[in-house]
Amino acid sequence: MDEVKLSKELSYLLRHAPEKAGLTLEPGGWVPLTPLLKHLNVSREQVERIVAGSDKQRFSLKGDHIRANQGHSVPVDLELSPQVPPAVLYHGTHPAVAEAIRREGLKPMARHHVHLSADEDTARTVGARRGQPIILTVRAGEMYQAGFSFYRSENGVWLVGHVPAEFIVFG
């Protein structure tokens, strides 16, 4: 299996459908690596290359276990502790959803959290997956002061339940 396909399959199984590989997410979102390798018919070395080479650091390996760092649509407790966010964070998206965001804010959609970036370049890369991106600035410090909880995943992605429109600056 080529590495792009393997990375996508790992994302799908670890974030959205662990049961398709006969897996159950353990606390922290971890699953044993051996049954996953058997299901995918790949070697540990192949998976290690995917984990090490992922530009977005989507996965973590710890001993004989692997997990997706965030982006789950299935119930999981990633065991993240609330963190104080920087004053601003960024979200990259595409223009077609801008009006809905102006009305409703940022929603997690099928995921557990809204994903935010600490820098505009990362947000631009994320937003460019669907064409020309727009970059939104989120006044995270103000949200935190207003009582919103923020989390930072192992790969540096900031997570929050939702972002009301009044905390978004449209650039």
- Residues 90-113: tens digit of each pLDDT: 999 999 999 999 999 999 987 889
The CATH number of 3-68 is 1.10.10.970
- Residues 32-84: tens digit of each pLDDT: 999 999 999 999 999 999 998 877 788 999 999 999 988 888 887 778 899 99
**3-state DSSP helix/strand/coil % of the chain, to nearest 5:** 40, 20, 40
Q: If you search the block for the tokens 């920087």, which residue do you land on?
A: 86
Residue 163 has pLDDT above 90, yes or no: yes
Q: Would you tell me which CATH number, out of the four given (3.20.170.30, 3.30.1300.10, 3.40.50.150, 3.30.565.60), belongs to the domain 82-170? A: 3.20.170.30
Q: Which residue has the higher pLDDT, 115 or 1?
A: 115
Q: Write down the domain spans for the chain.
A: 3-68, 82-170
DSSP H or E segment with residue 91:
strand 89-93
Decide: helix, strand or coil at residue 141.
helix
Q: In whole angstroms, what is the distance from residue 137 CA to residue 116 CA?
A: 9
**Whole-structure pTM value:** 0.73
Q: Which residue has the higher pLDDT, 71 or 132?
A: 132
Mean pLDDT, the chain, rounded, equals: 92
- Residues 110-123: tens digit of each pLDDT: 788 999 999 999 89
